[in-house]
Structure 1
């Protein structure tokens, strides 16, 4: 898959500082050694995502087709504030997957869960698929979440996406290209989120690293 990077060096430096702070913080319920083989949480069905329970902020409904599944493993935390970050971080990724499949870089759901640099990079990422007539098929496994709250109140979220069972399909030719079965199929996402006055944790900055997991 194509992956996005931050559009400015300043944004990257800011996010990197927050991420390093998060990595050096104490452990919580989402540590990687508690994820393997237990505590699996996935979408309620292959065709629909699990939405956060708080719908007061007008969170959009995000639906994925049966041709592509996103399974979230170990996506729980005993701290309610960190769980809220996980929930909205999950919805942000699902919104982007749905937008790619729908061929819609201007997705309202993506706009709902992203802002600033993350919104720009997400739209550029989605548009790259659309311009090449590609959609996602297969399965992505999203695991090893690490969530932290920085001193300034921002949320920091790391997670890994295993794309080894995913593919891209050309909508015009029908040709399917599978993701290579190597370490590059595992991608680390690094996000910074800020909470809005409506209670939504919006992703402000995001970057990815192939093989980062």
Structure 2
């Protein structure tokens, strides 16, 4: 995808840096892909619904349209705490995609799953698409999640996104633009998360590194 410049941060804990080279800290011990598919572009929405996690705050249900799909592979972990981080991290990315598709810079779902620097970064990123009247189509493959919990109880989540089959669509001209051939279509997302009093793992810092993963 031909993406606007994302606001980056280098504010990561020591545990986040260690996660880059750590062995056995991958997100999945169950490798089945998790495909997220919606019911149609015009009907895409983020509506409040009860969380599957007992006692947790109600989470926005983020449903992507048929025109754009995010395929999550290996987002399973036998540790319930790490799985909770994976679940909210996944919804954060989906909410960002949906906000672009719906041209909604003030998306409630984005604000729900992001805070601090990550919220500023996401809104800037979404606004770049909205200002240019761009949509997202195609699909993204989201894989190799690596999750850990720091000594202070914070979450660290790194994952890879292959955008080679995702495209930016000009809403007016209908011109479709993909990642240039000389640019690596795979990015690594490096995020840190903090658990709110309501039990939501909110992403507080976010950085993307192009070429940080293997396809």
The answer, yes or no, to whether TM exceeds 0.5 is yes
- C-alpha contact 2:138 2:166 (8 A) present in aligned 1: yes
Aligned residues: 202
What are structure 2's unaligned runs of at least 5 residues? none
Compute the TM-score of the two structures, normalised by the length of structure 2: 0.86
Q: Deviations over 1:64-118 (max 9, x none)?
A: 1100000000010111100000000000000000000000110000000000000
For 1:16 and 1:197, the matched residues in 2 are separated by 21
Q: 1:190, 1:29 → 2: CA distance?
A: 13
- How far off is 1:140 after superposition? 0.2
- In the TM superposition, residue 22 of structure 1 has moved relative to its aligned partner by 2.6
Deviations 1:24-69 (A, max 9, x none): 54514536xx78xx522222x34489x9622741101111110000
- Report which of the two has the higher share of strand: 2
Matched, 1:40 2:39: no
5 Å-filtered alignment, 1:63-74, equals: 63-74=63-74
Aligned Cα RMSD in Å? 2.2
Q: CA deviation at 1:183?
A: 5.9
Structure number with the higher helix fraction is: 1
Q: 1:181 to 1:71 in 2, by over 3 A?
A: farther
Where 1:91 maps in the other structure, the secondary structure is: helix
Q: 1:41 to 1:191 in 2, by over 3 A?
A: same
1 CA distance for matches of 2:147 and 2:83? Answer: 9
- Cα deviation digits, residues 94-151 of structure 1 (max 9, x gap): 0000000000110000000000000001000000000011010000000000001111
Aligned to 1:110: 110
How far off its partner does 1:178 sit? 1.9
Q: Which residue of 2 aligns with 1:21?
A: 18
> Aligned partners of 2:35, 2:51: CA distance in 1, in Å?
13
Q: Unaligned 5+ residue runs, structure 1?
A: none
